[in-house]
Structure 1
């Protein structure tokens, strides 16, 4: 199936205004060229991908720097944050390739096609699982504080992280095997799932939809809702100060996850339902393609939201930021006004932001 989109958004499906015939692994298949939706994708997708790449790289890169400079990595929370940052960065670094590919075709060779697609999905899947695991960890620390004090050890983080990376890697193996390059008369060289009979490709595509919907959306969503609901109940049953702020943060985290991921997965569910009908459909409906482009970009933007919710809202990381930028400001003042060095040295990082 000719496809310049990473998530199986067919540039050419059956039916529609422009019909052409392709030989797909010795099978002739009637396809249609979705010219309007493809032009829309060419205009919108690269802008979003480059924007997400820039924001995510800056946000997650800053968190990584703060962790390494100011924090001890060997704590439960920081190890989970480190893994989440690595997941988001793995996902992020591939976006420029897909942005360029959207408008110019794949020029990077078959080997990089497999590597880029696998890296993308490893980061994509592991990020969702680490978010879910961090929610479970917070639930254990708040709701079951006594038992968590005994079980929240470094070995627990290492084991959970190893399982998450293993699941993400195993879930990506079909992409590594199936993805490859082939030439297309309309779009040049494509990086797509190719090389097998149509029935085989449809089976793997349906498997991918089910895997995404169940393992990487419904189960995480249920776990997140369950854990945060009990955390909120626990907070309101205690005499904790600033509990309202904590609850608001929890609601924002859940709301961000729901808003970013639900529309995208609803579209995938619709595409899964239409999978076996689209090659027989006489009408080339572009509406789902437009919605897909937008919903997918919203979902991918969640990797930019993670740094804010899971670190920058915390007092500790805000202190680190104040210390970091405060040091830069003091150095700049000393460089421009050497006479101020004795006065600026009196201030600690604490006093700069207070």
Structure 2
């Protein structure tokens, strides 16, 4: 986080041991235009994403608590996804203030906010991938997966995601600290010479591209391809609707995550083979813009995945009917939610993963 000065202000070091003179010759690359762009536009995006996440994820949490409980594998994964997104969203107002001026919250919050940012961001994409894989098991291997898709499987899988996300974020948690430079207080990776920080930065770039984009993308494409094949082989009435929903899910995932990760890869290549000061400012602008699409997807993904299912749509209508009886929503709730078929129905294929949900819907 905070690419405002990642390559710009690391000319100081807290390491008092003798170092190679070459390592000490770190040019100050201020990139004033990029910093001003970030100060002008990023805070509004961050506050917007934070509010969307708070309202949307809060609504999903309430519906799970009010109507669903933690009785299914799907709801356990959704709950963890909501928690990861809220942890991530918690950091956004702090980064908004930081981009607008400087870091004013002290060293402790620098560590805490940096931890929330990276752990939440990493775990969010992994839980989305886990939801997709579980959907694949429920549809393509519906019979054989019945015994394995229990609460124990859900809690164990969730624990693995959290542990992996924390391990992937350790370098950022350790390296992020407060530093003073050019009359500004920064919350950045610091404490080591520039060459060491550059190496860790490259590790972060390649880690993000490989483990939090390429692998999830392959899994998502494979799982949904198999799900489409399974759907088309059934006598389902709503085949077209199911395929359209899958297309929307995959397309949204691809559009929101691909530009950001392509920019990350380009920055990694530039950093590897060029002087950081000579790196194109266009990449810095692109990173600011594309990163916000990725942020937005993280913040709204639980709402997006949840309300594609008719069951959660009915729960939402129930809430509206109680709060706003004048809308006459009860007539919609009394209508059949879907057509019966001789096979599995599309809402179940898209969002409801357990056999109990298939029966209840």
TM-score, normalised via structure 2 length: 0.85
After TM superposition, give the deviation of residue 303 of structure 1 in Å: 2.0
Equivalent residue number for residue 333 of structure 2: 350
Equivalent residue number for residue 311 of structure 2: 316
Structure 2 counterparts to residues 8-87 of structure 1, below 5 A? 8-10=3-5, 13=8, 22-25=11-14, 27-87=24-84
CA contact (8 A) 1:323 1:349 kept: no
After TM superposition, give the deviation of residue 276 of structure 1 in Å: 3.7
Structure 2 counterparts to residues 188-199 of structure 1, below 5 A? 188-199=184-195
Gaps of 5+ in 1: 1-5, 14-19, 334-343
CA contact (8 A) 2:87 2:120 kept: yes
- CA distance in 1: counterparts of 2:69 and 2:226, whole angstroms: 29
- CA distance in 2: counterparts of 1:23 and 1:304, whole angstroms: 35
Equivalent residue number for residue 286 of structure 1: 281
- CA distance in 2: counterparts of 1:313 and 1:155, whole angstroms: 26
Does residue 125 (structure 1) correspond to residue 122 (structure 2)? The answer is yes
After TM superposition, give the deviation of residue 12 of structure 1 in Å: 5.4
After TM superposition, give the deviation of residue 277 of structure 1 in Å: 4.3
Equivalent residue number for residue 213 of structure 1: 209
Structure 1 residues 136 and 353: CA distance shift in structure 2, 3 A: closer
DSSP-derived class of the 1:192 partner: strand
Equivalent residue number for residue 346 of structure 2: none
Give me the CA root mean square deviation.
Answer: 2.3
Equivalent residue number for residue 3 of structure 1: none
After TM superposition, give the deviation of residue 291 of structure 1 in Å: 1.1
Gaps of 5+ in 2: 17-23, 338-361
Equivalent residue number for residue 290 of structure 2: 295
DSSP-derived class of the 1:148 partner: coil
TM-score, normalised via structure 1 length: 0.87
- Structure 1 segments, 4+ long, off by >3 Å, are 7-13, 20-26, 276-281, 351-354
- CA distance in 1: counterparts of 2:331 and 2:190, whole angstroms: 60
Equivalent residue number for residue 112 of structure 2: 115
Q: Deviations over 1:237-281 (max 9, x none)?
A: 111121211111111111111111111011111111111444365
Equivalent residue number for residue 336 of structure 1: none
